[in-house]
Amino acid sequence: MSRMLSADRFEASQCQVSYFTFFKHFWPLISEEKLKLNWHIRYFCDELQKLSERVFLEEPKEYDLIANCMPGTSKSSIFSVLWQPWLWTRMPSARFISGCYSERLALDHSRKSRDVVISEKYCRLFPGIKLREDQNTKGYFINTRGGSRYATGVGGSVTGHHAHFIDIDDPIDPLGALSDLVLLEANTWITETLGDRKVDKSITPTAMVMQRLHQDDPTGHWLERGGRIRHLCFPCDTSWEIKPEECKNYYDHNGLFDAVRQNKGVLEEAEAKGETYYAGQYGQSPIPRGGAMFKVDRLQFSSTPPSKWKRGAIRFWDKAGTSGGGAFTVGAKGGLAHDDKVWVTDIIRGQWDSGTRERIILETAQKDGRDVRQMVEQEPGSGGKESAEGTVKRLTLAGYSAGMIKATGDKELRADPFSAHVNMGNVILLTAVWNREWILEHRFFPRSKYKDQVDATSGMFSSLTKPRKKIGAVLTYA
């Protein structure tokens, strides 16, 4: 008996000292599959332990953690299932909030964690950790030492709960990444709701693990906001960007992240599902190599525009009416050269209220001159028609050539003809400060944070290439 007790004490001590050791010892309790160790498992465990040790010592956090990794790599088991039970072996009073895009999945992770805590092995090694009978559900359970775990889906209420540790596991799914509303809800919930649910904001760390799916997915949004963040990015092979760069040394001699579970055959099957899917899920990049719809590496640049146009120049306006946030109003100017190359020569872009927007459109027309036609996108519905007609009327009364194009189909459909021209190497940008943001938006489109420059430039291209006709006093297009 004494030998058994001694062995238990030794195992408990080893598990407490190292989360990686705990993970290996308790893996059989959460999976019937044999644990296939790869270098990243220890790496992730050690990273979470570094975050945890500072909380144990009540020291201010150095950073929050973002980890991007492929599916099928045990990342949820590391971040969302076994981390919290290990924390209690060192800090029984630790309060833990875990979130996931799906409440069902969040509850499933929480249930597995609870199964570990109430298992015979855990109770034998850590007899001081017992769950309270009056609060013991799979979504919210508390131990007798004050520690707790609360699980919720993205957008769910966390009112009344404050955490020493916050875990976010896949806050959006691949379909959700296609919805601006889903992205906004996830980003707002993470930054505003969870941001206030901390025992001590200077100490409580947040660890988020996910695949990259969109320029403005929670990883992109969080990185853009800045702050103290440690970013781990482990794609399927070394042809993609790896962070930190020195982790490239852990990949095998063929450049593979995990030659056992993510071998070449597995990757070839995944790649066959589509380049955008593969880039996000396996390359940890919101865009395929060379761009998504727009292969921006095929753009040309020049500091001097043509002196004469085959057709042009045109300024096309995609209007928005939000001041200081939301979508941008964009005016894209360009023309068609005699060699049939399309030039983009200027971009006006801002988040203005409707009054300021109309003033800037008129001022821009004055700067462009009367030789530049001002075109306006007509959004669907009577309101969109009235808004476009109002802008055209103001421009024509001021003596400028103006017209409108009715928006039909979604933004991707409208962008397709222009993207084909870009991808054939037939588009030239006039070198200017606006180039960077314009290229960035086109590189990520349709999974870009903003789409207004794409819409405006595609409208400009459509205006240049569609036959014109005049209806009354308004210049429109077939």
pLDDT for 148: 97
Q: Kindly report, residue by residue over 415-428, the tens digit of the pLDDT.
A: 989 999 999 999 99
Q: How far apart are CA 464 and CA 458, in angstroms?
A: 10
**Spatial separation of the C-alpha atoms in residues 176 and 441, rounded to whole Å:** 19
Closest CA to 153 of 193, 200, 181: 193
Residue 314: pLDDT band (50, 70, 90) is very high
Cα angle for residues 101, 105, 109 (degrees, 5° grid):
120
User: Which residue type is seen at 262?
Assistant: Q
**Integer Cα distance of 316 and 375 in angstroms:** 5
Distance of CA 191 to the CA centre of its chain: 13
* Burial of residue 350, with CB atoms counted within 10 A of its CB: 0-12 exposed, 13-18 middle, 19 or more buried: middle
| Predicted local confidence at residue 91, as pLDDT | 98
pLDDT-derived band at 2 (thresholds 50, 70, 90) equals: low
As a whole number of Å, the end-to-end CA separation of the chain is: 90
Length of the chain: 478
- Which H, E and C letters describe 277-292, residue by residue? HHHHHCCCCCCCCCCC
What confidence score (pLDDT) does residue 472 get?
Answer: 46
pLDDT at 468: 54
Q: CB within 8 A of 252, min separation 6: which ones? A: 259
Write out pLDDT tens, residues 61-95.
Answer: 999 999 999 999 999 999 999 999 999 999 999 99
**Edge-to-edge strands of the sheet including 300-302?**
300-302, 427-430, 342-350, 329-336, 311-318, 373-378, 402-406, 474-477, 468-471
The structure's pTM equals 0.76
Measured N-to-C along each axis, helices 452-465 and 435-444 cross at an angle, to the nearest 10 degrees, of 90
The matching CATH number, chosen from 3.30.70.360, 3.40.50.740, 3.20.190.10, 3.30.420.240, for 296-477 is: 3.30.420.240
* Nearest Cα to Cα of residue 391 among 440, 453, 329: 329
Question: DSSP letter string over 318-346?
Answer: E----SSSSSPEEEEEEEE-TTS-EEEEE
Return the pLDDT at 1: 47
Helix (H) or strand (E) holding 475: strand 474-477
H or E, element range at 395: helix 381-397
Q: Which residue has the higher pLDDT, 127 or 475?
A: 127
More confident residue, 165 or 287: 165
Q: What is the residue whose two structure tokens read 């991007």?
A: 68
Listed in sequence order, the DSSP H helices in 214-285 are: 218-225, 264-271, 275-281
Residue 456: closest CA among 352, 375, 388, 401: 375
Mean pLDDT across the stretch 397-420? 88
pLDDT above 90 covers what percent of the chain? Answer: 72
- Interatomic CA distance for residues 314 and 344, integer angstroms: 10
pLDDT band at 447 (very low <50, low <70, confident <90, very high): confident
Average pLDDT, the chain: 91
Domain ranges of the chain: 2-234, 296-477
Among the four given CATH numbers 1.10.10.10, 3.40.640.10, 2.40.50.140, 3.40.50.300, the one describing domain 2-234 = 3.40.50.300
**pLDDT tens profile 223-236:** 988 889 999 999 99
347 forms beta bridges with 332
Specify whether the backbone of 160 is left (phi greater than 0), alpha (psi in -120 to 50) or beta: left
